[in-house]
Amino acid sequence: MKRLFLFSIAIGFIGLTSCSGNSQQSKNGTEKEVLTQQNTKKMNVEELTAETFKQKVMNYDKHPNEWVFEGSRPAIIDFYATWCGPCKQVAPIVEQVANDYAGKIDVYKIDVDKQQELAALFGVQSIPTILFVPKEGTPQRVNGAMPRTGFDEAIKQVFKMK
């Protein structure tokens, strides 16, 4: 009887161990999937340097006195800093907008601490500053954090999109 009892406990222990092992494996698989999804989402927002800005948005060396847009689609540019609280609040909204309008609007971000020349070019004095750049016409600027509804409204007005 005692052996049967110990045998039952051993079988139960093996069963629990194997179940928790599968659970851990499943959990790790889920975590990897979530991280992959997050990385995929972030890929729609591109960090710009002065050089990539000149190629994709405006070459201010070639056209110092006029706005000549280099892009093929309208663009949104988020001027931010890594230490800025409101910028951290806006970042997931910017990523969501980039995902929702992928292929229709190019979404960029510029770190004002690393790209001081670009921040000065646009007179960025408060962050976040969001620049809405239509294919034709003058860019429109919004200073400060704004909710998702603000982005959607600006996209409708500036880019004439629904």
Does pTM surpass 0.75?
Answer: no
Average pLDDT, the chain: 81
C-alpha span between 142 and 129 (Å, rounded)? 6
| Band (43; pLDDT cuts 50, 70, 90) | low
Angle between helices 2-42 and 85-100 (to 10 degrees): 90
Tell me if residue 19 is catalytic.
Answer: no
Catalytic residue, chosen from 45, 48, 57, 87, is 87
pLDDT tens-digit profile of 44-103?
899 999 999 999 999 999 999 999 999 999 999 999 999 999 999 999 999 999 999 999
Residues 71 and 137 occupy one common structural domain: yes
pLDDT-above-70 percentage for the chain: 73
Domain with 85 in it: 45-159
- Per-residue pLDDT, 59: 94
110 contact partners, CB below 8 Å, separation of at least 6 = 47, 48, 53, 77, 78, 79, 80, 118, 119
Catalytic residue among 45, 48, 77, 84: 84
Q: Tell whether 121 and 146 lie within a shared domain.
A: yes
Same domain (yes/no): 5, 82: no
Q: Is 84 a catalytic residue?
A: yes
